[in-house]
Chains A and B, each alone.
Chain A
Amino acid sequence: MNFDFSDDAKTMRESARKFLDANAGAAIARKSMNGTATYDADLWKAVIDLGWTAARVPEEFGGVGLTAEESCVLAEEAGRSLAPIPLTSVLAATEALLRAGSKEQQARWLPGIAEGKVIACVGWGEGNAASPSTAALTVKDGKASGVKLPIADLLGAQLAIITANGPKGVQLYLVDLGGAGVKTELVETLDLVRRSGKLTLDNAAVEALGDADAYQDWLDRAAILAAFEALGTTAASMDMTVAYAKDRVAFGQRIGRYQGVKHKCADMYIKLELARAHALHGAWAMGADAGELRQAASAARVASLDALSFTAEETVQLHGGIGFTWESDCQFYYRRNRQLASALGSSAWWADRLVRALERRNAA
C-alpha cells in the first residue's frame, strides 16, 4: 500500500511552502485588501518563473507535464498562504482544458497558460443559480447573452471557462475575454483579498469545451483541487490559533491550558485530518481515473468545507475581542471560508452528490 503523495509531489510541496512562507502570507493578503490591484503582479510573476503554471501542462504544449498530485499540493500551499494570485483558478482551468478540450483548444490556450501569458478562470454562478447543475445562460449558434457572477480572478484574466446550457444539458464553454460583446467588471464579495468579477455577455462568441459528461467529470476534479486549497487554508488558520493559545495569558495561565480552548483546537485537527484523508483519496482517484472519483471528490469537498468552516469560525472565537478587529488576521480566514464554500457549490449539494454516488455503487 502506498497511499501517499509521490516523492516528487512532496518535494514540490516543500519548495512551494518555503517560497510562499517567505513571499506571501497575511501581510501580503493585507496589502492586497488595502489596494486596488486585481492580483499581486510581482508575486504572480515569481510564481510563473517557478514554473507552477506550467507544471500540469503537457510538454507538447510547452509545459512540464507533471501529474494531478503536483496540482493538488500547489492548491494546498496557495490556500495556506492566502496568496492574492490567480493560481487555483488557473489550475482548475488547466484541468478543464486537459480533460474536456480538443487538441486545437489545448494548442490554443495551454501554451499561454504555461508561459504565464494567459490567466484563466472558471465560473458557474449567475447571481441566482441554484447549483452547479443549473444555468440560465443558453448558447445558440455559438453565441450567448447573459451574466455570470461571481467569478474569482476574472479581472486580469484572458480566458474564462463558464457553464451554460448546451445540447445535452449544462456544460463548459470557453470565453475569450478579449472578444466582442464581452464585458468584465469588479463585483464586491465577502473576500477582500481575492477579487471576483461579473462577466456580461452580449451576443458574445463562446466555444463548447467538451460536453455535459465532461463537465461533470471536471467538477469532481475541480472539487478535489478546491479541497486541497481549503485544507491549506484550514491548516494555516489552525496554526495561527494554536500559536495564540500558547501565548495568550488569562487568569494567570496560558489559555491553551484550558480544555474549553484546547479541545476546540483538537477538534480543528480532527476535522482537518479527516478531510486530508478524503482529499488524498481524491488525488489518487484523479490520477488513476478511478471509478470512485465522484465519491472521493464529493467526500473531499464536504469534509474540507466542514473542517474549514469550523476552524475559521473558532479561530475568531478563540482570539477573543482582538480577533474581531480589522487589524487581526482572523478575518482573512473567516472571509475566505465563505469564498471557498460558495465557489463550487454548497456543502449540502455535494453531500447529495456523494450519496448519489454511493447509491449507484450499491446498485451496481
Chain B
Amino acid sequence: MDFNDTAPEAEYRAKARAWLEANIGEYREPTEFGRGHADFVRHSKIWQKKKYDAGYTGITWPKSMGGQGLGPMNSIIYNQEESRFHAPTGLYAIGLGMCIPTVFSHGTPELIERYVAKALSGVEVWCQLFSEPIAGSDLAGIRTKAVKDGDTWTIDGQKVWTTNAHLSDFGIIVCRTDPSKPKHKGLTMFIVDMHAPGVEARPLKQMSGGADFNEVFFTNVKVHDSHRVGAEGDGWKVALTTLMNERLAVGGKPSHAPGYKTLMTLAAGIQTDNGPAIAQSTVRERIASTYIADEGIKLTQMRAQSALSRGEMPGPEQSISKVVVAKTMQDLASFAMDLNQSSGVVTDGSNPELNRLQGSYMASAGLRIAGGTDEILRNIIAERVLGLPGDMRPDKDTPYNEIKAM
C-alpha cells in the first residue's frame, strides 16, 4: 500500500507542474477575476487557450476529438496541480465536463466538426439547459416544447438554474417533442444558439447574493433538425450521458473551501467562559467529526484513484462524496459562527476568516441542492448501491399530457 505516483504518473505530474510554474503568471495568488467580475470571461478564455495550446485540455478525450487520449489519472493529476493555484477554470467546467462529451457521444460528425474544437480551445462557451421550474429532481417532467415543421424545430418554454447561460454561446437543451408519450419517452435533445432571436437569459440572483445561474426563456426559437443530438424521443437516454458526467464533476469539496484546519485556527483564538475554545470537549469533538468527513472523502477519492491507476473502475463508494461534503461545509460554518458568539453574523470585512466561513454557510445551502439534492443522492445510494426498490412513480407510464398529481 502506498500513496505514491507510479513512474509514468510522476513523470506526467512533473511535466504538468513545470508547465504550470512557467505559465501560471498572475494566477499564482488569489485574483479578483472570479465569477461575477467584468473580466472573468476574458481571463478564462486566455487561460483556456494557453492550456489548449500546451495540450492540457481534453486530457481523457480521444485524440480524434482533439483530446490527448490519456487516462483518467492524467486528468486527476493535472487538476491537482492546477488547483494549487488560482487559475480561472469555472467557465468551462460544464461545457467541457458535460455538454461536449454528450455531443461527441451522440452527435453527428458534422456537429462534432463544427463545435468540439472551438469549445475545447475556449473560443465558445457552453451551458446545459435541463432543469425547469417544474422539473428539478424530477428532471423528466420537462415542459419546454419543441415542435417540428419540415426541417425546423420551434422551441417555447423556460429553463432555470442554468449556470453561465448569460455568458454562453451555445447550450444543449432537452425539450418535449411528443407529449402523448410517457414522460421519459417523449424528449429530444438539441444544440441551441444562445444568441438566437427569442433566447433570453436573465441572471437569477441567489440568496447568497451572487448570480452564477439564470432563468432562460425561449420564445419561438428556431433550431434546424441538423442540430438534434441523438434520435427523436431519445432525449432522456442522451441526457443520462450528461448527468453521469455531472455526478463525476460535482463531487469533491470545492478547493480552498474552509475545513477542519479553519476550525482549529479559529478555536485556538477564541476565549470561552471555561478557557480557550479549543480546550473544550464539545469543540474538539466537532473538529474530529469535521476531520473525519473531510479527510474521509479525500481518502475515498484516493481509493477511486487507486482503482483508476490500475485501470479498474472505481467502486460505488464514490457516490457518498457530495452528500457528505455539502452538509459538512454547512455544519462547520454554522458551528464556527457560533464560536464567534454575537459577532458570528457580522459581515463588515473586519474578520476575513470569519467572512470566508459565512460565505461557505451561504454557498453550502446551494451545494446541497445542485447536481442532485441530498435526498436524490440518498435514493441513488439506496437503490443503485444497496439494491433497494425504487420509489413508487405513479406517473411513470402515463402519457405526459394525461398526468395528474395524486
CB <8 Å contact, A1 and B288: no
CB <8 Å contact, A266 and B299: no
Is B196 among interface residues, defined by CB-CB distance under 8 A? no
* Contacts of A242-299 to chain B: CB distance below 8 A: 242, 245-246, 253-254, 256-257, 259, 261-263, 265-267, 269-270, 273-278, 280-281, 283-284, 287-288, 298-299
Given contacts A4-B307, A256-B388, 17 further A-B contacts (CB under 8 A): A4-B303, A242-B388, A262-B386, A262-B388, A265-B382, A267-B378, A269-B386, A277-B296, A277-B300, A277-B303, A280-B303, A284-B1, A299-B295, A306-B289, A306-B292, A355-B284, A362-B261
Q: Which 5 A-B pairs have the closest CB atoms?
A: A351-B288, A277-B299, A262-B382, A274-B296, A256-B388
CB <8 Å contact, A3 and B383: no
Please report the C-alpha to C-alpha distance between residue A4 and residue B315 in the assembled complex, in whole angstroms: 12
Q: Per-position contact with B for A304-335: 1 when CB-CB < 8 Å, else 0?
A: 00100000000000000000000000000000
Known contacts A262-B379, A263-B382; decide if A246 and B388 are in contact (CB<8 Å).
yes
CB <8 Å contact, B296 and A1: no
Q: How far is the CB of A259 from chain B (nearest CB, A)?
A: 7
Interface stretch of the complex, out of B38-46, B316-324, B348-356: B316-324
CB <8 Å contact, A1 and B382: no
Among candidates B287, B295, B382, residue contacting A355 with C-beta atoms closer than 8 Å:
B287
Q: How far is the CB of B43 from chain A (nearest CB, A)?
A: 32
Please report the C-alpha to C-alpha distance between residue A351 and residue B280 in the assembled complex, in whole angstroms: 12
CB <8 Å contact, A259 and B375: yes
- Category for how many chain A residues contact B: 35 or more
Interface stretch of the complex, out of B2-10, B26-34, B84-92, B212-220: B2-10
Please report the C-alpha to C-alpha distance between residue A256 and residue B261 in the assembled complex, in whole angstroms: 39
Among candidates A1, A270, A348, A351, residue contacting B4 with C-beta atoms closer than 8 Å:
A1
| Set of chain A residues within 8 Å of B300, measured between Cβ atoms | 273-274, 277
Known contacts A254-B389, A266-B378; decide if A3 and B296 are in contact (CB<8 Å).
no
| Set of chain B residues within 8 Å of A262, measured between Cβ atoms | 378-379, 382-383, 386, 388
Known contacts A246-B389, A256-B388; decide if A3 and B382 are in contact (CB<8 Å).
no
CB <8 Å contact, B375 and A303: no
Please report the C-alpha to C-alpha distance between residue A354 and residue B293 in the assembled complex, in whole angstroms: 13
Known contacts A3-B3, A362-B261; decide if A352 and B375 are in contact (CB<8 Å).
no
CB <8 Å contact, B306 and A3: yes
| Set of chain A residues within 8 Å of B281, measured between Cβ atoms | 348, 352
Q: How far is the CB of A58 from chain B (nearest CB, A)?
A: 20
| Set of chain B residues within 8 Å of A280, measured between Cβ atoms | 1, 299, 303
Is A358 among interface residues, defined by CB-CB distance under 8 A? yes
| Set of chain B residues within 8 Å of A299, measured between Cβ atoms | 288, 291-292, 295-296
